[in-house]
Amino acid sequence: MRQDVKVFGRADWCPGWTGPEYGYVGVTPGQKNDTRAADEGLQLLLNIPHKKPGPTPGTVKATKYKKPEQWHTAIREKVLTKPIKTQVKTQIAEIAASRLEVSTSTMRRVQGRWHSEALEKVLNGKYW
């Protein structure tokens, strides 16, 4: 049991029962009861695999750029065709991502994987 946790998981068993009963202890009706620690404890008791953090599989659109060549072509055709008329780096990144039709975080992730010197110059405000 973690310190300063008011709600924790509990397993009860008595002879003659078909199996243990699992539940929470410390839940106060009408109040916000944080059950994360209790859920983790019950998962350990029940040998339930821990869920990996992150998006649910199938809910995030897969990256549309499967190969480095596609990425570099998209940069040449979509980002470098028109100047970006701002010096604010966050706005530059948002405009470039918008032109590539991906989120800023996806753009950064793909850029890290298939580096493009031209896009790096754009993102650093040095291309135009």
| pLDDT profile of the chain (128 residues), mean per 10 | 76 90 85 83 81 64 80 92 86 91 88 89 77
Confirm whether pTM is higher than 0.75: no
The pLDDT of residue 62 is: 58
The pLDDT of residue 96 is: 92
The pLDDT of residue 1 is: 59
Amino acid in the structure at residue 76: R
Residues paired with 21 in a beta bridge: 12
Amino acid in the structure at residue 75: I
Provide the token pair at 72.
């570099």
